[in-house]
Every structure is written in structure tokens, then in C-alpha cells.
Amino acid sequence: MLIFDGAMGTMIYQRGVFVNVCYDDLSLTQPQLILGIHKEYVEAGADVIETNTFGANRIKLAAYGLAERVTEMNRAAVRLAREAAGSSVYVAASVGPCFSPEQQPTTAQLADMELAFDEQLSILASEGIDLVVLETFSDLTQLQVAARLARKHHLLVLASYMLDPAAEAGGQPERDMARLLQSDPNVDIVGLNCGRGPADLLGSVRTVVGATSKPVVVMPNAGGPSEVGGRMLYLNSPEYFTEYCKRYVELGVRGVGGCCGTTPAHIRMAARAVRTMSGVKKFINISTAPVAETVSKGPLTPVVMVPFAEKSPFAAKLAAGVKVTSIELLPPQSGSGLKGFIEKCKICEDAGIDAINLPDGPRASARMSVMATAFSMMQQVKIEPIPHYCCRDRNLIAMQSDLLGGCALGLKTFLFITGDPPKLGNYPDATGVFDLDAIGLTQLASNLNGGFDAGGQSIGKPTAMVIGVGANPLSVEMDREIMRFYAKIDAGAEYAITQPVFDVDALYRFLERADKHAHPIPIIVGIYPLLSFKNAEFMHNHVPGVSVPEFILNRMSKRTDKEDAIKEGIEIAREIRQQIGSAVAGFQVSAPLGRVNTALAVLGDAI
């Protein structure tokens, strides 16, 4: 994952240079200004900075009477960027189109265009750039010509397209563009930039990522411009920009940056957030075998591992093929809410539910510890707790200590997840640790069950944890999701619980592929009873890994009365449960806003 810089033109304009000036010429006339902007982006955390050469081709410069300065202008721009970049940041040459979208170049002008691109790219290549970014092209013919000439000069090519701001996002034009660039041998990386703000690009990003196997880089505008004091300013905040950068990463893009209106503040916040995301950070490798003991200690003592069916009542039911039921309840926000929480657990116990799932800081929120909550449950109710345990908040040492402590207290069944990045919650300045992801945490638990720790040292008597993992049947990158699911099984996963499922067909496609592992594990499906149309929209737009089909959104939109909407949400959840009942090992039903009776109504005769 690479973080690209933000806008150059916006930064120049903010420094009082008006638009009637040739911005590319500033590399010669005001080099310290350009160098300073580059340094700000480097300090903000950019991995890639772009040269101030977007319009530095002979055709564009001719309008300013500067066509004969094309060579020195491009060379100066690369050298300024290289000085700011140092040895740890990549330098990308920015190359824009020769003709604007409304221009219709003649045959002669097209020939001039080829010469202009060839000249500029030759100069940039001679300066030793790391890659070329062909950006803000709305004419695929121009883009492909530029890519061909860049390849002629042996450059790594990012071909970035600007979508029509007025067109519907996520449609056929994006798909056609992505497929064309996918088949173009001169294009290494597919990009989307400019034209649209972060939210408006989201649907298009989803389409493009699904239509190409090449890496995708996204650089949206900060948002729509507003006139303030005679200037056109982009007023969307770095927080807004960052939220969508994270969503792009979740969809599978390999690079994010900014275009018009973005500044070092945008890049700084996005870089910090993205680098703590589970799909980006490099994790500690957990050994799958104990380190050999010294000769003086003698051979390793054989370890007798507890069979899966004997680890917990929940595991026994799964092993016997009995459908399990679980209600997901958030731990209380503090100890003062524990009494009410236990009362809800008792309601579930009396209804015959097998377990209570305890999310660990969902969406990076801070609530009572899942370990403490689970232990409190064990003291007051018989229903089995299943604490989720995420990698976000603790380093490797703390995770191992928590698991050993939990087992010593009598906790048996766990669900291991990577966790949401801190920026999603109420504590955006908190640091995401992520020493491990869910695969590594599964391996750690498996090691402890085998009698040795993360370093391969004996722990004496092995633990007997039931190891559960998450699964996402709606992943945009299904090949990657299946690969990670298989890796979790290989690391020691014994059962899985999915994200809430609304698309039954997508679930069946996932189950078909998941079952092809040599050692398939029981899969429990997550079900969420919607409370309202607004709730459905939120789940669809803001909860990673969840997609609510249009027909369900339509059903919920027709229920304007609060109680009718709740009944409709329950009915939809029951229908989903009935459709998938024969294909899964059980159901985990969320209790939205703590409404256990709503969750129990979904299970009905399944209890």
C-alpha cells in the first residue's frame, strides 16, 4: 500500500499564485516554493510525491510562450522532487493530457500530441524517475498514446482516468475503462483521479477494482468547490477524506492520494489511518512449531491435546452436527451497566440459546473488557460466553497473556478477529497496534493449545481453547477472502462466524468455495434484524463487509412506522434464516441496540 501526495495546484494557489500564471514554470522561477510543497507532503507521510510537470509539454506551454523551456522545466521539476524525497520516498512524474475534454484535435494536432508526449516523457525518463503518473485523462485515446510512449522509454506506468462528474457512479463507463486498461500491455497500474470527491468515487472504485487484476490507485478531489472571497476553495475536511480513503483500501485499492483541494493535512491524516489498517500493516510471524530445546533439557515432552468436542458445550454441539444458536450482545459501557446486561443474558438462557457473543470494541469503541464481561457471566449465568478478541489494541505479549489468563479463569470458546482501525471510533488519535492479524492470532491460540507460546517455549499444561474466526461472504476481493479463510483453517481455526448476511446467493457462493478446503470447518452465519430504513442504509454504507441488497432496502423504505419497520426487519431476518438453515452450522443473531427479544424473534422455532 502506497500513500501518494495531494494537490500541487491547490497548494500553489493557496500561496497567492493566481491561475493566469504557468504553474509548471514555477519550478524554474520559484523553486523554493515548489520544494517547500514537496517537503510538506513528505513530512505528512506520503510514500510517493509527484513532480510539478502536469502541463509541462510543448503544446500546453505554447499558450504561455514557454514551449522552448520544456526541457529545463521538466528537469528542474524532477530534481526538486528528488531533493525533497530523499532516499525513502518515490518520485513520480506527473503528466497530464495535451488537450482538454472539450477540444477536438485535428489529425495534425494528434501527430503533434504524440511528439509532445514523447519529448516530455523522454526528458523525465532521463532524470531517473521511479514511475510516471498519466493523470486526469478523460480521453482514453490520449491516455493510451501516452502510455505507449512511456513504455517506449521503459517507465513504470500508472494510467489514471478522470470520470465525468455528472455521470452515475459505478456504471458501464468505469467497467469499460478498467477492462481496456487491463488489456493494455503498456499500463502497469490503473488509476482514478480528479472529477469527483471521495464519496462520489466510491461506487466507481468498487466497479474498477472488480474489473481489473492490476493494482488500482485512487486520488479523489477533496470534494466540491465553494467560492469564498473570490477564491474557489475545497472545504471538505481531512477527516471526511480519510474515511473514504480507508473504504477504498477495504475495497482492495493499492494506493491512495489526493487531487484538487487536498493538502498535506489530508494526506497526513489519511496516511496515519491507512497504515494502521489490518490489510496494510506487516504482522509478526508466529512460528507453527516449537523451537528445539537444548540437549541438556532433553527431548520435547509429547503434548496431549484436548479433542474439539470435549473443549466446551458449544464445541460439543458443533462436533455433533447440532445447529447452534448465539445472540450477539455488546458488553456494557461500564460496570454500572453489568446488572442489566446479565439480565439480558438470563433471558437468552431461559429461551434456550447456546451462547452469548461479546464483540471486542466494535468499530473501535471502548466498552467494558470482553474478558471481564465473560468472566462475570460465568459467575452469574450458565449460558456460555464467546468473547471476541481483536488484534487492534494489544501487542503480542499482551495478547498471549490475556489468552492464558482467560483460559485460567475458565473461558473456553473464543472468536479471533483483526479489528477495526481506531479512526472509525471515538478515539481517532489512539494507536492501532496490530502486531498480529486474525491469522497470526489463530496460530498463537493453536500454539497455546499445543503447549507452547509464540516464541516456541513450553507453557506446561496446554490450553484447550475453541478457536473461532470471522468470515466475510460479501468481500469485494473474494479470492483474497478465500485465501485468508483457508490460511485461518491451516493456522488452527475450528469454526467460523460470518458477517451479517443479507445476500443469500452471495453466502452460498462463499460456502461452496469454503467447503473445498481439505479440512472444512463449521460455519455459523451472522444475521442482523434491521430496525428501520435508516438502519439498513447505515449497514450498507458504513459497516465494512456488509451489503444490503436493493430489494431489502426497498422493503424497509416502505415501513415508515417504527414498530412496522422493526417487524419487517425481523421478518426479513427470519426469511434469510429459513433459506440458509440447511447449509450452515448455526446462527448468530445480533441484538440491535441490546434488543434481545428482537433477536429471539428471529430464531423463533430454531431454538
| Model pLDDT, residue 501 | 96
What is the tens place of the pLDDT at every residue in 230-241? 555 555 788 889
pLDDT of residue 604: 87
Q: What is the pLDDT of residue 297?
A: 47
pLDDT at 419: 83
Going by C-beta distance under 8 Å and a sequence separation of 6 or more, which residues neighbour residue 574?
601, 602, 604
pLDDT of residue 291: 47
Higher pLDDT, residue 335 or 117? 117
Q: Tell me: pLDDT of 438 over 70.
A: yes
**Residue 300: per-residue pLDDT:** 54
pLDDT digits (tens, 9 = 90+) for 498-533: 999 999 999 999 999 999 999 999 999 999 999 999
Structure confidence at residue 295 (pLDDT): 39
Give the pLDDT score at 169: 67
Q: What is the CATH number of domain 309-606?
A: 3.20.20.220
Give backbone dihedrals phi and psi of 589, rounded to 5 degrees, phi first. -110, 125
What would the pLDDT profile of 442-472 be if each residue is shown by its tens digit?
999 999 999 999 988 999 999 999 999 999 9
pLDDT (average), residues 315-344: 96
pLDDT in tens, 505-514: 999 999 999 9
Residue type at 407? Answer: C
Can you give the pLDDT at residue 276? 72
Q: What is the pLDDT of residues 108-164, one digit of tens each?
A: 999 999 999 999 999 999 999 999 999 999 999 999 999 999 999 999 999 999 988
What are the backbone dihedrals phi and psi of residue 294, each rounded to the nearest 5 degrees, phi first?
-70, 160
Fold of the CATH domain 2-275? TIM Barrel (3.20.20)
What are the residue ranges spanned by the domains of the chain?
2-275, 309-606
Q: When comparing pLDDT for 274 and 56, which is higher?
A: 56
CB 526 within 8 A of CB 510: no
**pLDDT over 90 at 346, yes or no:** yes
Q: How many CB atoms lie within 10 A of CB 43?
A: 12
229 CB burial (10 A radius; 0-12, 13-18, 19+): exposed
Query: Which residue shows C-alpha cell 446462527?
Result: 587
- Measured between alpha carbons, how far is 128 from 568 in angstroms, rounded to an integer? 62
372-422 pLDDT per residue, tens: 999 999 999 999 999 999 998 899 999 999 999 999 999 999 999 988 766
CATH topology of 2-275 equal to that of 309-606?
yes
What are the E-state strand segments in 150-277?
Answer: 157-161, 189-193, 216-219, 225-228, 231-234, 255-256
Tell me, yes or no, if the pTM score tops 0.75.
no
136: left (phi over 0), alpha (psi -120 to 50) or beta: left
What is the separation of C-alpha 150 from the centre of its chain, rounded to a whole number of angstroms?
31
Mean pLDDT, residues 26-53: 97
Q: Strands of 264-398 (E only): list them.
A: 324-328, 355-358, 384-390
